Amino acid sequence: MKSFYRIAISVALGLFASAAVAQDAAVIENCNGCHGDDGVSQWSDVPTIAGMPEYVHADALFFFRDNERPCSESDYKQGDTSRPATTMCQVVADLDDAALEDLALYYFELPFVAAKQEFDAGLVAAGKARHDELCDKCHSDGGANPDDEAGILAGQWIGYLENTFADYASGAREQDKKMKEKMEMLSDADVTAIIHYYASQQ
Ligand code: HEC
Ligand code: HEC
């Protein structure tokens, strides 16, 4: 009896979630115009968001909406660059908390696909060594584990990662205090090596 009750609840929640997400079909189409079909990006400076940890994703959207994270202008639309350039901050400006949480859950349930990109194989070992020493505690499995709720680094696009490290270094994007201490131990060469280590995981 008890277990039946649990199943009934999860079925009800499942229906509720898919109804909420269905409402957002037009919003999701807009997201995918830049982030790629099913949130798997085809452009180096746009991150893949499929499989992104749910709470990290929701937080990111809150920060963009509140203009607390840098937004760059982009006009990707499945390769059609005729659409006007817009920013992440503008895209989520009119969405309420519940809508943003629904989007985070929707993309979390889609499979992450590592970017097929060129990388410098000569940098990978040095990058892995720095990652294992300073970052793997929070970004385990080489930055591939969504259960860490710390973003997915393994297989993310190089262009996006380069912009992200630059935004953390300049202070334009806020970061976890403990992460900042580790980040400050990285030389410029370490940062490049770590990025190529993440890109090598395909
Ligand atoms: C006009 C193109 C565009 C559209 C539309 C767009 N994004 Fe983005 N998104 C970007 C870019 C570019 C970035 C990288 C940050 C930056 O440069 O602004 C980004 C970053 C993100 C991030 C941060 C990822 C991370 O790893 O921290 C999330 C989450 C995200 N977008 C989700 C969405 C969702 C959900 C939608 C739809 C509501 C959406 N985006 C619509 C271009 C877009
Ligand atoms: C104390 C835990 C912790 C440590 C140590 C840590 N991180 Fe993070 N990191 C996080 C969390 C939590 C997030 C997600 C929150 C955010 O977006 O800022 C994150 C996010 C990131 C992102 C952005 C991911 C995205 O999708 O935009 C990058 C890149 C990153 N970390 C790199 C590193 C590197 C490189 C190191 C080692 C030098 C490191 N982190 C060490 C906790 C940590």
CA distance 193 to 141: 17
Contact 177, 63 (CB under 8 A): no
CA distance 92 to 157: 22
The ligand 2 atom nearest the CA atom of 59: 17
pLDDT value at residue 6: 39
pLDDT value at residue 130: 98
Ligand closest to Cα of 160 equals: 1
Q: Whose CA is nearest to atom 17 of ligand 1?
A: 72
pLDDT value at residue 78: 55
CA distance 116 to 66: 33
**How many A from CA of 150 to the centre of ligand 2?**
6
**How many A from CA of 113 to the centre of ligand 1?**
16
**How many A from CA of 49 to the centre of ligand 1?**
8
**How many A from CA of 57 to the centre of ligand 1?**
10
Q: Which two tokens stand for residue 188?
A: 């410029």
Mean pLDDT, 10 residues at a time, over the chain (202 residues)? 38 48 76 93 95 96 94 72 80 93 95 97 98 98 95 97 97 95 98 98 97
Q: Whose CA is nearest to atom 11 of ligand 2?
A: 150
CA distance 62 to 69: 9
pLDDT value at residue 89: 93
How far, in Å, are 3, 29, 48, 52 from residue 57 at the CA level? 32, 17, 11, 6
pLDDT value at residue 81: 65
Contact 115, 199 (CB under 8 A): yes
